[in-house]
């Protein structure tokens, strides 16, 4: 059975991908970076989510050339802030400091209304495999940045991202509700549709 290396140590992400593969009837032996003896340190210095995901997948594939490697990159884009935080989402104010990152967004949007508060999350997924062109999938979800938040930490920008169809922020939705509509869920869905034909190439 071909091996699929997921370029992440996040057990939740790995479980979500395993569940999607199972649901789609795709048989692969799934590994994460936690299962590998050697993992290259990849610097995410691309200008786009696609560049970062591609770099991550290709650098790992250099060490494991016989395997399939899946990498993703996500972030929040706010058009009125010239696309910020974008590829800097994880380290906008402080490295993986969600509270500081959220405060920075709210401060920059202070006094702004309506259209200036529009925002979207994006996920790009890239699969690299031997003797094939890279497979790419993307997902996006649109929302608005709230005017304030109660300071409670959940994950990333979830507490300040208002998803209008649910009339709630992402932080107020259950994991299952969010996965159904999220950028990551949508990218994964597209990937599952494309993967069988790509594997058969």
Q: Does 84 bind ligand IMP (CB under 6 A)?
A: no
Active site residues: 73
CB of 177 to ligand IMP, least distance (A): 12
Q: Mark the segment that binds ligand IMP (CB under 6 A) among 21-29, 56-64, 128-136, 149-157.
A: 149-157
Give the Cα-Cα-Cα angle 87, 140, 12 (nearest 5 degrees).
75
Q: Enumerate residues 6+ apart whose C-beta is below 8 A from 116.
A: 80, 109
**Contacting ligand IMP (CB under 6 A), which of 7, 57, 71, 73?**
73
CB of 7 to ligand IMP, least distance (A): 10
Q: Specify the pairing of strand 3-6 against strand 68-77.
A: parallel
Q: Does 12 bind ligand IMP (CB under 6 A)?
A: no
Q: What is the DSSP letter of 37?
A: S
Closest CA to 140 of 194, 190, 197: 190
Alpha helices in the chain (DSSP H): 11-23, 49-63, 98-108, 175-181, 183-200
The rounded distance, in Å, linking the Cα atoms of 180 and 184 is: 9
Longest dimension (CA), the chain: 56
- Cβ contact 71:126 at 8 Å: yes
Q: Mark the segment that binds ligand IMP (CB under 6 A) among 19-27, 29-37, 144-152, 155-163.
A: 155-163
Q: Is residue 68 helix, strand or coil?
A: strand
Q: Mark the segment that binds ligand IMP (CB under 6 A) among 19-27, 57-65, 102-110, 152-160.
A: 152-160
CB of 168 to ligand IMP, least distance (A): 13
104 to 133: interface string for ligand IMP, x by CB under 6 A = -----------------x------------
Counting residues that bind ligand IMP (by CB under 6 A) gives 13
Nearest residue to ligand IMP, by Cβ distance, number only: 156
How far is residue 16 from each of residues 63, 159, 163, 189, measured CA to CA in Å?
Answer: 25, 21, 21, 11
CB of 155 to ligand IMP, least distance (A): 5
CB of 200 to ligand IMP, least distance (A): 29
Binding site for ligand IMP (CB under 6 A): 73-76, 89-90, 121, 155-158, 170, 182
């Amino acid at each position: 059975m071909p091996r699929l290396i997921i370029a992440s140590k996040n057990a939740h992400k790995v479980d979500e991908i395993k569940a999607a593969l199972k649901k789609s009837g795709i048989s692969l032996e799934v590994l994460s970076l936690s299962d590998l003896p050697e993992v290259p340190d990849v610097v995410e210095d691309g200008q786009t989510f696609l560049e970062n995901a591609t770099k991550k997948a290709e650098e790992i594939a250099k060490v494991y050339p016989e395997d399939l490697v899946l990498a993703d990159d996500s972030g929040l884009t706010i058009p009125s802030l010239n696309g910020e935080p974008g590829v800097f989402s994880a380290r906008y104010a402080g490295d993986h400091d969600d509270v500081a990152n959220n405060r920075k967004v709210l401060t920059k949007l202070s006094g702004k209304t309506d259209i200036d508060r529009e925002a979207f999350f994006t996920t790009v997924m890239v699969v690299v495999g031997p003797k094939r062109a890279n497979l790419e999938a993307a997902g996006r979800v649109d929302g608005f940045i709230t005017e304030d938040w109660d300071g409670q930490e959940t994950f990333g920008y979830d507490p300040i991202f208002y998803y209008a169809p649910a009339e709630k922020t992402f932080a107020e939705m259950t994991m299952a509700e969010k996965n159904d509509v999220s950028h990551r869920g949508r990218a994964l869905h597209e990937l599952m549709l494309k993967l069988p034909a790509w594997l058969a190439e």
